[in-house]
Amino acid sequence: MKRKIDVTVGSLSGALDRFERAWQRGATGRSRSAEVRLTFESLPVLLKNLTPARWTLLEAVKRSGPMSINELARLLGRNYKNVHTDVTRLVELGLIERIADQRIAVAWDTITAEMRLAA
């Protein structure tokens, strides 16, 4: 099964509204497939966390498969410490996961992004 995560920019109240709708659907017995979403409070915060270097890192791990941080740093031609910092943040965000023997892998097949302009 393909795994998908939606990355959005939105408010806490929007996240609470989505939670309430899901709760109400569950309470009435209406089911819906699980939705996984990562929401940032603003576009600058999203861009601070998903930098071009981190996106390149995600693509490299997805393309090459599970690997150690050291292998990834060599593959990307980047400093180990900087790659480790990026991987740590991406693990915290849930975009990368640690698997057996401390290798890392991308948990998602698709990452979609949605940003709405404020009215």
Q: Which domains does the chain have, with CATH numbers?
A: 4-114 (1.10.10.10)
With cut-offs at 50, 70 and 90, classify the pLDDT of residue 68. Answer: very high
Residue 47's pLDDT is what? Answer: 92
Residue 104's pLDDT is what? Answer: 97
With cut-offs at 50, 70 and 90, classify the pLDDT of residue 31. Answer: low
Mean pLDDT of 22-42: 75
Residue 113's pLDDT is what? Answer: 84
With cut-offs at 50, 70 and 90, classify the pLDDT of residue 9. Answer: confident
Residue 27's pLDDT is what? Answer: 79
Amino acid 2 reads K
For CA atoms 56, 61, 64, 68, the dihedral sign is positive
Residue 98 has pLDDT above 60, yes or no: yes
Instruction: Compute the residue count for the chain.
Output: 119
Amino acid 29 reads G
Mean pLDDT of 20-41: 74
pTM of the model: 0.78
With cut-offs at 50, 70 and 90, classify the pLDDT of residue 18. Answer: low
Closest C-alpha among 116, 114, 118 to residue 6: 114
Residue 20's pLDDT is what? Answer: 75
